[in-house]
Chain A
Amino acid sequence: MLSLIRRQTSVGREVYRAATISVRNASSGPEINKKQALYGDYHYRESIERGRRSYTKRNVLTALALGGVVTGIYFYSLKAVRQEDYSDIPMPPEPSAEQKSRFESTDK
């Protein structure tokens, strides 16, 4: 497939085509494939990182704030329901030793 494409495409695009295919074949592991899929056809990585730099700080702060809100809701909810102590439910009587052994043997 590689050599076939070299013949069919024009001279000017030859290098580009070969490069993208070799990159695709050489990429090992899911992480590199994922990065390529993230940016699609746009290959100029330094430019993307530079463009994202001005948004990093605000994005991180937003992530922390949202995470904090979620965590706060979680722990508050737990705290709010912790007052339940099941005192209104009558405790059943302690089973005898014979009943305990019977329970354990039938369980297997």
Chain B
Amino acid sequence: MSSGSRFVLPCARRVSAGLPRLAERSTRRFISLKSLFAPPPAAGDSAAETKARVLVKQDDLFHQLSKSPIKEMRQKGLMIQDHGCCPTCVRETSVNAGQAATREPLFECPDCGYPTHCSEEHWAADKSRHSEQCGYLRESNEDEHDLRSGRTLREFEFPSAQLPEVVVNFKSWDTFLYTRSFTNVESARAMRHVSKVLTYPITIGAALHQYSPFTLGSGLTPEGLKSMTALRTTIKEHELARSEKELQMQQMPLRIFVLGARAEAMLPPHLYLQLSYLLPHSSMMVYFVGPESIPTADETRSTIAVSPRLALKYHKGYFHDVIWNFAPFDPFTDVFFLFSPGLGHPKGRGGWQPTIEKLLETKCPIFATGFHQADMDNDVAALTEDFGSSMDWLLKPQANPFASLKRDFGIRNLSEWAIANWGIYGFRGKRYEVQRK
């Protein structure tokens, strides 16, 4: 009875020996015999429902912001017009009078839909410079309309755990999504949507996993190998003890500290389950510590237990103030991640220094990311200047294979862009076992 009413594509069944049957597949629907005899819903109802839900069709995703059918996009256009500046005006006036005066960008570029310049003449004059960003702006325009179009976003239905024999490949997003069976990601746009949110948990997972893309040949230093081996030893111990309750009770969970957490702390907790599936036998706690880590100021701390193996904890405040909640630190179980901290930014540098000092004392590995090459170089230079003599490099600054594939544009200046976690580097406090005279 059950096999007769189950509807599964025969080609999928043939290869299921190789690919895993995922436990929580929400993409498969089973037709029971009972439903075959149920009265069908009226054709008119479902069509009206579709029309009411979908604001923008898939083949009609590009709209000028001011003429967009979606209210949020129109509001964004107005915000850019209020806060933005016309780059041609800035260039002309600063050359002439030494002080930049600008008109509001009221003219929307016909190719990308964003209000970039104040008038058509200025836009035409600036075409060569704008064309660098125009393609990405248009892509961003279509992506934003797609997210708000009202369609069912199936690419965000993520897979669950998989068999340990099905090894995950961390070379790039393509290999990762395939080996993790992200079957709902079926287009470049879907991949961009997924990569923007998954970049945080997967960057953490890629650094910790034994098949990490960061190897001795590609930027990891011998000191880095030592630190990562310590962490991977703990992960291996968790795996070896997976079938014995007494051993499991004796083990320490992995502690992943995300400092200066802003966007990553506001992600839905089920995204960090993807990290838990990469290290399936390890219990872990992810601590989000930072002045902006909780959106509301009601509580100073809260905990979310996402699964028996994963807990998320939120602490509002600077890390160097709350450090005694977490001490002592163990380089075999603790790791720090700083996502786009802006260590070299003039406003952030002073605030980060006491935290970095404490982090270097813990001797635990610290990974930080930057949102493009210049930002990462800036941060690395500031770090070397402030702490160069008391730190070891674990991972040389390099491009992160699990960077977001979407570009984010600043509202004030559309020529400035950021890619979440574009580059990654790792460091640790220096540690001497032998003192030489």
**Of A4, A40, A47, which contacts B174 at CB under 8 A?**
A47
- Do A51 and B171 touch (CB < 8 A)? yes
* B382 CB to nearest A CB, Å: 34
Least distance between B75 CB and chain A CB atoms (Å): 27
| Inter-subunit contact B14/A37 (CB<8 Å) | yes
Does residue A56 face the partner (Cβ distance < 8 Å to B)? no
Please determine whether A40 and B186 come into contact, CB atoms closer than 8 angstroms. no
Stretch touching chain B among A6-14, A75-83, A89-97: A6-14
Contacting pair B12 A41 (CB below 8 A): yes
Please determine whether B187 and A44 come into contact, CB atoms closer than 8 angstroms.
Answer: yes
Among B34-42, B63-71, B86-94, B133-141, the stretch that binds chain A is B34-42
Q: Are B16 and A40 in contact (CB under 8 A)?
A: yes
A41 to B185, CA, bound (A): 11
Interface membership of A42, Cβ < 8 A: yes
Beta-carbon contacts under 8 Å, A36-52 to B: 36-38, 40-44, 46-48, 50-51
Known: A5-B31, A42-B178, A47-B178. A13 touches B11 (CB 8 A): no
Nearest to A20 among chain B residues (CB) is B9
* In contact, B174 and A12 (Cβ under 8 angstroms): no
Query: B29 within 8 Å of A by Cβ?
Result: yes
Residue of B nearest to A50 (CB): B174
Q: How many residues of B contact A (CB 8 A)?
A: 40
The answer to the question of B83 belonging to the interface, with a C-beta cut-off of 8 Å to chain A, is no
Interface residue tally on A, bucketed by range: 20 to 34
User: For the complex, is A16 an interface residue (Cβ under 8 Å from B)?
Assistant: yes
Give the residue of A38, A44, A51 whose beta carbon is less than 8 angstroms from that of B172. A51
B175→A51 contact, CB < 8 A? yes
Give A8 to B29 CA distance when docked, in angstroms: 9
Asked if B151 is an interface residue, CB under 8 A from chain A, the answer is yes
Q: Which A residues lie within 8 Å of B175 (CB)?
A: 51
- Give the chain B neighbours of A10 by CB distance below 8 A: 29
Proximity string of chain B (33-62) to chain A, C-beta cutoff 8 Å, 1 when within and 0 when not: 001100011000010011001000000000
Query: Could you say which of A13, A41, A48, A51 has the most chain B C-beta atoms within 10 Å of its C-beta?
Result: A41
Q: Is the CB of B35 within 8 A of A8?
A: yes
User: How far is A100 from B406 in the complex, measured between Cα atoms in Å?
Assistant: 87
Contact call A37/B11, Cβ cutoff below 8 A: yes
A12 to B182, CA, bound (A): 18
Residues of B1-34 at the interface with A, using a CB-CB cut-off of 8 Å, are: 7, 9, 11-12, 14-16, 18-19, 27, 29, 31
Report if B366 contacts A (CB, 8 A): no
Q: Does A54 contact B (CB under 8 A)?
A: yes
The 5 closest A-B CB pairs, nearest first, are A12-B152, A51-B174, A51-B175, A7-B40, A40-B15
Chain A residues in the interface with B (C-beta under 8 A): 4-5, 7-13, 16-17, 20, 24, 33, 36-38, 40-44, 46-48, 50-51, 54
